[in-house]
Amino acid sequence: MTAPAINPPGLSATSHPIQRAGAWAVAVLADRANPQEVTEADLDAVAARLVEDVMAAALAPKNSTAYDWWKVLFALFPNSKATHSKRPRDRAVLLPEIVALFVPDGPGSPTWPCTFCGVPATAVWTKKNLPMYDTNKALNTLPPGVAGWPICRGCRIAAWALPYGAWVTAGSATVLSCEQEAAEREFSARNVLRARRIMQLGFDGLAAGARPEVVVLRALKALGPDLPAAATLWSFKNDNQEPWLRVTRTRRAVPLFLATVEGNAELRRAWRLLELALTRRDKNGQVVASGPAEAARLLFEAEDGRSRSLLSQLHQLLDEPEKSWSLRNRAALTQLAFIYAEEILGMNPDLKPVATVIADWIEYGSGAPRGRLAEYRNVALSDYKLGALLMQAHFRLTLDGRAVSAGPEDWRPLIQQRPRSWEQRMLLSATVLQLLQERGVAVNERPIDPDDEDRTERLLARPMLGQGDGEAVRDDDCVDDDDDRGAA
């Protein structure tokens, strides 16, 4: 069926994030190391598979498992021949229309440079067949009188391979771009497995609460410490109503940070504690937020600044009076906060002397330390109020004739409105609480429950970021299994 091709071999992965993700999906589906190695015969094979999967989805009865893949296609291509509500339900009628999407560019026809990659193309596509283009708000509208965008065969196949290489839901798609191609391939490969699972079992066959960030972090972890690589996640939604794009990024030092955590038993333990603490279940015990996925999200920063940081999450956990951390677990979580500050934020403050002033004041003042601890907790993140409390502590300790381990010069960086002062105050709080617990001052409101500790210890034995790198299809959606119930 293949006409002589006019295009050079290989497929370009361009800087357009949607085309790029599609090109990687084609490479994975063709079992090639990268898009450049994709041959014309590979394109034939991938196109044949796309046609079969699109046909199965388009003809699937509503409410069937196979219909879930139609929902995915509908989110990406809402007005295409395959997804339109008035599509033919007769296979013999629909099939040629789908096959025609991916036919080779014909020799002898007039050509234009492909909109994405620039190679000569004969086919001209409207937004109906391009993912995420079919919306009134997008800036992709053609000038009047222009029939469409020229798209080469490779890029047409890449466009429809997108849902295989993207992290898809029934209404959105998330793609990755990364400085290291190995991470892009890994992300795509895991999503191709996941796509097959959606087609076979539907979304109900996937674990709830999973997220693409955990897949990205596994891919970055696999890069090892010597390959700094920033990753960008682009999440698109297009349901013919309100399209949106959300962009989140990781910093270049994340592979190094993950390698440091992975290589240190106490840091690994801290990461698992974080995962367990972030697991959320409904009242029937079903996971609604996967701990590994929620922890992974903390390493991504939203472009609009609306994202939680790992440091503030750790602060919240360590500062929660109802949490009963053993000294070992508190020390591990505190160490994780400091390693993050050092490797990701480039900070390395020595907070022990200032923390000692506060801990001494809490421990040695008259009456029970509980009241002064609560007083400190109330002001721990406020620049001005923390400054006032430190002066008060300094004054009190001096009056009592005690050695004072730090003075106003030492805490000035913490109580100013300067970049990173807020982060320093969180790290100070973690240090104060650890010092107090080491001295035997009660910082937890309730005693540690040995049964809880036993259960947590069992769960801590699992690898961070989910269940390792086995071949199981379930792997990419893995969340804690039933044993985790009640541990968080």
| Residues of this chain that bind Zn ion (CB under 5 A) | 114, 116-117, 152, 155
Nearer to Zn ion, 13 or 117 (CB): 117
d(CA 179, CA 300): 16
Minimal distance in Å, beta carbon 157 to Zn ion? 10
The number of CA neighbours under 13 Å toward the Cβ of 309 is 14
Nearer to Zn ion, 16 or 237 (CB): 16
Minimal distance in Å, beta carbon 151 to Zn ion? 6
d(CA 24, CA 26): 5
Q: Taking a C-beta distance cutoff of 8 angstroms, is the pair 383, 417 a contact?
A: yes
The closest of 52, 45, 49, 58 to 1, measured between CA atoms, is: 45
Minimal distance in Å, beta carbon 11 to Zn ion? 8
Minimal distance in Å, beta carbon 485 to Zn ion? 50
Helix orientation angle between 450-460 and 265-278, rounded to the nearest 10 degrees: 110
Nearer to Zn ion, 112 or 422 (CB): 112
Minimal distance in Å, beta carbon 186 to Zn ion? 24
Nearer to Zn ion, 122 or 429 (CB): 122
Nearer to Zn ion, 122 or 424 (CB): 122
Minimal distance in Å, beta carbon 152 to Zn ion? 3
- E strand spans, 110-202: 112-113, 120-121, 124-125, 149-150, 167-168, 172-178
Nearer to Zn ion, 50 or 296 (CB): 50
Q: Taking a C-beta distance cutoff of 8 angstroms, is the pair 76, 173 a contact?
A: yes
The closest of 307, 333, 343, 342 to 429, measured between CA atoms, is: 333
Minimal distance in Å, beta carbon 156 to Zn ion? 8
Q: Are strands 172-178 and 231-237 parallel, antiparallel or unpaired?
A: antiparallel
Nearer to Zn ion, 117 or 317 (CB): 117
The closest of 303, 34, 297, 67 to 165, measured between CA atoms, is: 34
Which of the 8 DSSP states describes residue 248? E
